[in-house]
Amino acid sequence: MQLPSNQLDTFLNALRDAPIVLPFDATSDSVSNLMSSSTTTSFPPPAACYPGLSGVNRADIDTVETNAFGLPSSDPVTSANFTIGCFTGRPTYGILNVLNLRLPFADSRQGLVVQASQLTKPVGPRAVLKAGEQLVGLARASASSPRPNTPISASNADPREYGTLLHLNHVALAYLQSFPTAALAATTAQFIMSSPRLPPSNDSSLFLDTNSLLDIPIIEVSVFGQLLPADMDLFYSDFTGPQGQLFFGTQRGDVFRTWALNDSSDTLLWSTEAIARTVIREARERYSVFEDVWQATLKGNLTTPDSVVRALTSAGLFGS
């Protein structure tokens, strides 16, 4: 990859320092109900516990969890809401956010979940990593899944291909080898080692040479154990839902922000896209100008994402 061998430790440490983000869809009935019901229930919910999973998606979950993690097959959730008893022992899937994206997936991955929580560093020892996407992009309903590499075979869930933050050399190698070209792998590695504060810009070679970031592989993360508000301190959301409908200034948006901003140190980033240069940072303490725009949207005075963003921009609320 034309990288100096003495940069290996720098690259591995940059991967270890990258934030873990767990995507979810706060626009869905079942997820919104779960957020509003309790702050002592683990969240986001494990993939195996979602109601209404398609047969293909459930089979993929079972393949990974029985082969890679030695778990028993999961029972289908027959109700419209989550069965909390299912959560015990099941992992929640996320992404190692090596590109410092503002949203969990590249913008060209349309129809995927557009909220996420970022885990605090003490949760790291509970994370298992694998190069390549398996279950994090799973469609949590009967609709067809937008994931690559499905159906998943037992050979793709070999336990030896998984690692931890302390033992990730083989995961890092598999990640670099999964790039379309060695040059692209080297460019991405250099970006990761630069400890970026912002995502790649839309005029950077990393963005332009990777099909708007689609060609950059994912490092998927499986997190075990209960996840409570104290385990998260940063949250991400688009202004819209997976189908382009407004999420900002809605009742479900209110449920999400109330749940996310549980502590005075919590921050919620509102972004127009995954590579946004500027975002709105919402804190627990309400800010009157922001609330004016939220209420105007809730009352139907602002009805499109563009009108909401214009109002927030005019109020001077966007920053890095």
Provide the CA 253 distance to its chain's centre, in angstroms. 17
Pull the structure tokens for residue 172: 């890092």
**Segment 257-295, tens digit of pLDDT:** 999 998 999 999 999 999 999 999 999 999 999 999 999
Cβ contact 247:27 at 8 Å: yes
- Which letter does DSSP use for residue 127 in this model? E
CA-CA distance, 141 to 23, in Å (whole number)?
Answer: 15
Pull the structure tokens for residue 260: 């996310």
For the beta carbon of residue 201, count every other beta carbon within 10 angstroms. Answer: 11
Q: pLDDT (tens digit, 0 to 9) for every residue of the chain, 320 residues total?
A: 557 888 999 999 999 999 999 999 999 999 999 999 877 899 999 999 998 888 888 999 999 999 999 999 988 887 888 888 899 889 999 999 999 999 999 988 877 778 999 999 999 999 999 999 999 988 654 444 456 777 899 999 999 999 999 999 999 999 999 999 999 999 999 999 998 899 999 999 999 999 999 999 999 999 999 999 999 999 999 999 988 899 999 999 999 999 999 899 999 999 999 999 999 999 999 999 999 999 999 999 999 999 999 999 999 999 98
User: pTM score, two decimals?
Assistant: 0.94
Amino acid at 26: A
Q: Which sequence spans correspond to the domains of the chain?
A: 5-223, 230-314
Provide the CA 83 distance to its chain's centre, in angstroms. 22
Dihedral angle at the C-alpha atoms of 159, 165, 169, 172, nearest 10 degrees? 90
Pull the structure tokens for residue 63: 């393949």
